[in-house]
Amino acid sequence: MFTKILIANRGEIACRVAATARRMGIKTVAVYSEADANAKHVAVCDEAVLIGPAAAKESYLCGDKIIAVAKATGAQAIHPGYGFLSENAEFADACAAAGLVFIGPPASAMRAMGSKSAAKQLMEKANVPLVPGYHGEQQDADFLHAQADKIGYPVLLKASAGGGGKGMRVIENSAQFKDALASCKREAISSFGDDKVLAEKYLQRPRHIEIQVFADTLGNCIYLFERDCSVQRRHQKVLEEAPAPDMPAERRAAMGEAAVAAARAVGYVGAGTVEFIANQDGSFYFMEMNTRLQVEHPVTEMITGTDLVEWQLRVAAGEPLPKQQHELAIKGHAIEARIYAENPEKGFLPSIGTLRHLGTPGAVSFELGGDVVAPAAVRIDSGVREGDAISPFYDPMIAKLIVWGADRKQALARMAQALAQYQIVGLATNIAFLKRLVEGQAFSAADLDTGLIERNHDSLFPAAQPAPATALALAAAALLAGESRTVAAPAAAHAADPWSHTTGWRMNQSYARKLAFADEHTAYDTFVTYRAEDWLFSASSAAPQALSLATHNGNDYSIKLGDQATHGTVLRDGDVFHVFANGAHYQLAWNDPMAHAGETESEGGRLTAPMPGKVVSVLASKGQEVKKGEPLVIMEAMKMEHTIAAPHDGVIDDILYGVGDQVADGAPLLAFKTA
């Protein structure tokens, strides 16, 4: 076995590989870009070497630099993870030439599967089922038209060089063929520089089912069952599960054997995935083979009790597969959800920024019957920690949340629960969307196909709901508790002095303080009346109810509103209260009437945006002398205007944004020199 390996990747997969290496007593070398100097993968490896600037093609894609680092640090093998160099046959060859083991398949197998149409021809010879169609060299329009008529409509035209859904055309009938072929070829040449197409029977509601295969250098090749990855969005997987729902044992064996035949046909070694497209009736057809460890490998690990990275290391070191086919069995059900920094309400636009707060569901492990310990119920694979940034340079995945259950129903319930416990402040995420997805009727009932998200668009993107009174009450309680702490502490010496109390004691007992909150859609006026032991609270026009803070531990609050007990986490970020309660995340901006110049946040003479928003007015100019408290910039965010004022007398050094500019949370708006 190797004593030291280099991990040619970043993020969660680099951390994942490092965890297994550490457990096996293998030292690890990380490589990193300038953007990743403080990244988690650098921290979890034994050594780390800078390989270049942030852009992947100047760092993580530089095979020669990475090989040089492996040689210099004495690593014997390179694990490429997924993406980057993982399916690059030239890199695998270069590793071999440098006397390093590439932890992956032979370059020849990568090349054989790299060309989609050549792979299909190989598979045809190996008796791996293919979608009925024409995958040959002849490209004459009349010939292809005759092939399409023979296949029967609907027919799908695909660019041979394509993949990921680009260059595909569905043809409903023979009359549409000519125009569709011309347009498909135009797209194929402009996207891939190759106008070769293939024609297939179009499957109307297909499922994406893939088989995990593993082969060693001694001629053993086995399958570790299937994963159903039908829930996708624009060819990006969103949820993956194992085993596939409604998979009869005979079909599982047939698919497994077809996948093993596919792997054997290209002399495969290591971890691979054979992708099939399956009809609702269960018929299945080879699509392509991924010659790497996949993002969704944990669901297979959880149901088989294996560590696939350990298997990869053993196979790469020349050892036999740790298990034979008959020693493998499926236990329970696992589901993975990919948590992304993206905004589902804004077309899944990636969200860049800092994970200012990261609260994860607690890991749960338990006993299953006798002394057999079941897999942990919740596993989180992540390459980021609280305080880390999601940058524009790499994939904006925050974490993979993987749950295990004795059956699908239990796994589903645990996934919903774990998503409800996930707390992220600082970035938009797809967590609420994932929760709607796993709780939705279609996924719950395993009514799976690649169109699930589009078909259920209306229930997956419901109109925004106003925040419930309990969420507003939690924000109010946190605000009031925070005020009594910060103000009461220095006044403790004068405890007898009613004027230094902040319990709200007032000459006029009926005084109701207005706390104005707002989220992106709604403004909420709430009213608080201070009483001896509690508050009287009303949200908008609702009748006032007694509100009290039962317990308060860090950011966790238990309150009572009327006769309803509620708890939640409340994080205050400037004037925004992030309330996590009932599995939802409410972002409530407080319009603080007392906020004025002297309290405006300023860092090192710079003035920053209190929350993400838009600049609506710039009142100062470069070089201008200003007085403390003078308004400089007005921003609009969360339905409110925020005035950024001079913290001291001084001079405007620079103005960094103009009217109409979108500004990120915490961004400096202007440079300011104190007089």
Q: Indicate whether 61 belongs to the interface with ligand MV4 (CB under 6 A).
A: no
Candidate ranges 194-202, 312-320, 553-561, 602-610; the one touching ligand MV4 (CB under 6 A):
194-202
Q: Indicate whether 277 belongs to the interface with ligand MV4 (CB under 6 A).
A: yes
Q: Indicate whether 227 belongs to the interface with ligand MV4 (CB under 6 A).
A: no
Q: Tell me, what DSSP letter sits at residue 580?
A: E
**Closest Cα partner for 406 from 333, 337, 335?**
333
What is the C-alpha separation between 343 and 459, in angstroms, rounded? 17
What is the C-alpha separation between 473 and 537, in angstroms, rounded? 7
**Sign of the dihedral through C-alpha 553, 556, 557, 563:** negative
Which of the residues 292, 379, 414, 436 is marked catalytic? 292
Candidate ranges 200-208, 241-249, 370-378, 579-587; the one touching ligand MV4 (CB under 6 A):
200-208
Element (H, E) at 488: helix 469-488
Minimum CB separation from ligand MV4 for residue 209, in Å? 9
Minimum CB separation from ligand MV4 for residue 275, in Å? 7
Answer for which of 107, 203, 425, 528 binds ligand MV4 (CB under 6 A) is 203
Answer for which of 6, 213, 287, 401 binds ligand MV4 (CB under 6 A) is 287
What is the C-alpha separation between 279 and 276, in angstroms, rounded? 10
Nearest residue (CB) to ligand MV4, 187 versus 200: 200
Nearest residue (CB) to ligand MV4, 232 versus 529: 232
Q: Tell me, what DSSP letter sits at residue 2?
A: -
Q: What's the burial of 653, exposed, middle or buried (CB within 10 Å: 0-12/13-18/19+)?
A: middle
Minimum CB separation from ligand MV4 for residue 34, in Å? 34
Minimum CB separation from ligand MV4 for residue 458, in Å? 20
Quickly list DSSP for 232-269. Answer: EETTEE-EEEES-TT--HHHHHHHHHHHHHHHHHTT--
What is the C-alpha separation between 80 and 618, in angstroms, rounded? 49
Answer for which of 105, 206, 383, 647 binds ligand MV4 (CB under 6 A) is 206
Q: Indicate whether 31 belongs to the interface with ligand MV4 (CB under 6 A).
A: no
Answer for which of 99, 165, 320, 623 binds ligand MV4 (CB under 6 A) is 165
What is the C-alpha separation between 646 and 669, in angstroms, rounded? 12
Q: Indicate whether 208 belongs to the interface with ligand MV4 (CB under 6 A).
A: yes
Catalytic (active site) residue 23: no
Element (H, E) at 155: strand 155-163
Nearest residue (CB) to ligand MV4, 131 versus 609: 131
Amino acid at 166: K
Quickly list DSSP for 12-24. Answer: HHHHHHHHHHHHT
Candidate ranges 143-151, 201-209, 407-415, 523-531; the one touching ligand MV4 (CB under 6 A):
201-209
**Three-state secondary structure call for residue 573:** strand
Q: Indicate whether 568 belongs to the interface with ligand MV4 (CB under 6 A).
A: no
Q: Indicate whether 167 belongs to the interface with ligand MV4 (CB under 6 A).
A: no
Total residues binding ligand MV4 (CB under 6 A): 16
Nearest residue (CB) to ligand MV4, 233 versus 357: 233
Q: Indicate whether 135 belongs to the interface with ligand MV4 (CB under 6 A).
A: no
What are the tokens at 381? Answer: 């694979």
Answer for which of 136, 163, 440, 504 binds ligand MV4 (CB under 6 A) is 163
Nearest residue (CB) to ligand MV4, 199 versus 477: 199
Q: Decide if 282 contacts 298 (C-beta within 8 A).
A: no
What is the C-alpha separation between 600 and 650, in angstroms, rounded? 15
Query: Which residue ranges make up the site for ligand MV4 (CB under 6 A)?
Result: 131, 156, 163-165, 200-203, 206, 208, 232, 235, 277, 287, 450
Residues annotated catalytic, as ranges = 292
